[in-house]
Amino acid sequence: MSIFVDEKTKVVVQGLTGGQGRFHGLRNRDYGTKVVAGVTPGKGGSDVEGIPVYDSVEEAVQKAGADASFVVVPPKAAPDAIRQAAAAGIRVIVNITEGIPMQDEVLVFNELKRNHPDTQLIGPNCPGVISPGKCNIGITAGEIAKPGGPVGIVSRSGTLTYQALYELTQAGIGQTTCVGIGGDPVPGTSFIDCLSRFQADPDTKAVIMIGEIGGSAEEQAAEYIKAEMDKPVVAYIAGVTAPPGKKMGHAGAIISGSTGTAQAKIDALEAAGAKVGQNPTEMADLMREVVAAL
């Protein structure tokens, strides 16, 4: 199985007529994803290489049966694009947009929780979600993923998402689903959202979790792993050498005192029973050992 998306998922690309939307939307379609529609207000009735374009997400849902959205629009337009998708009944929204103001992210996050609790927002500022061989929504290169499981991946870092996929694939280890949740301070999807689904998925036998300095999401995930998971977890925390008090990379990657440090996160994960690699390659080596023992 897979989590969030599968071979039945029908995707509408919000911003399909733009340069980035066209490029990534068509790459997703070429991978085999059912990209059934695009949305650009004012361009309804046109198409992009055979993909019909509508003026609203509601129309794309009614006429093309879309149930997932890929939001590829500028930061100023992204919050309303997410709202429109949720209001139309879209169940999974993937937003790769970087640079959305945090106050807008907070408003959208709380609106979805209050008014559309069944809608799953992945992102913003993320690479998206891929269930290898079934569905790819976002900017992850499908060529580096391998279908068939047994490993699920959840990561705050886009680049390290790709490395984890590539190294597992090179080792002949397939993946069930890989989710890049993004590095912004207010992600729509948390580690725990993904871990709970991997725990419930019978085809996922082990999980890779990639975190970063800043915030407390990894410590919260460690508590969940300890209390709720019986599947092995291999982790890596980026930012061991980051100086305290400085933002390094993502907007959410800022530490204060001992809160949010790489070592605090590593300690919490190891105490929860996770195996923690000191670098991405060691993380992959540890997962190879785990898979060999399954």
Domain shared by 148 and 109, yes or no = no
Selection from 129, 135, 118 nearest residue 154 by Cα: 129
DSSP letters, 96-109, are ------HHHHHHHH
pLDDT, position 242: 60
Q: Of 243, 257, 184, which is closest to residue 217 (Cα–Cα)?
A: 184
Domain boundary among 70, 89, 122: 122
Residue 75 forms part of a structural domain: yes
Which is the catalytic residue, given 22, 34, 156, 250? 250
Task: List the one residue out of 60, 9, 67 whose CA is nearest residue 39.
Answer: 60
Whether residue 223 sits in one domain with residue 270: yes
Cα distances (Å, whole numbers) of residue 101 to 74, 78, 123, 124: 12, 10, 13, 11
For 152, the token pair is 């699920």
Task: Say if 69 falls within a structural domain.
Answer: yes
What is the domain range of residue 103? 10-122
Looking at the fold, whether 189 and 93 belong to one and the same domain comes out as: no
249 in the same domain as 118:
no
The series of mean pLDDT values per 10 residues for the chain, 294 residues long, is 95 98 98 98 97 98 98 98 98 97 96 97 97 98 95 94 95 97 92 98 98 89 98 91 57 51 92 95 95 95
Same domain, 43 and 145: no
State whether 289 and 147 are in the same domain: yes
Same domain, 146 and 288: yes
Rounded CA separation 211/271 (Å): 16
Sheet of 92-95, strands arranged across: 47-48, 51-54, 34-39, 10-14, 68-71, 92-95, 120-122
Task: Verify that 193 and 267 share a domain, yes or no.
Answer: yes
| Contacts of 115 by beta carbon, 8 Å cutoff, 6+ apart | 86
Q: What is the CATH number of the domain that holds 234?
A: 3.40.50.261
The answer on 238 and 145 residing in a single domain is yes
- Asked whether residue 110 falls in the same domain as residue 153, the answer is no
Q: Has 250 been annotated as catalytic?
A: yes
Residue 3 lies in a domain: no
Query: For residues 106 and 128, is the Cβ–Cβ distance under 8 A?
Result: no
The total of structural domains in the chain comes to 2
Tell me if the pTM is above 0.85. Answer: yes
41 and 180 belong to one structural domain: no
CATH number, position 109: 3.40.50.720
214 and 107 inside one domain: no
The answer to whether the peptide bond before residue 124 is cis (omega within 30 degrees of 0) is: yes
The span from the CA of 72 to the CA of 140, in Å, is: 14
The answer to whether residue 127 is domain-embedded is: no
The CA-based angle 199-181-226, given to 5 degrees, is 35
24 has which bridge partners? none
- Specify if 129 maps to a domain: no
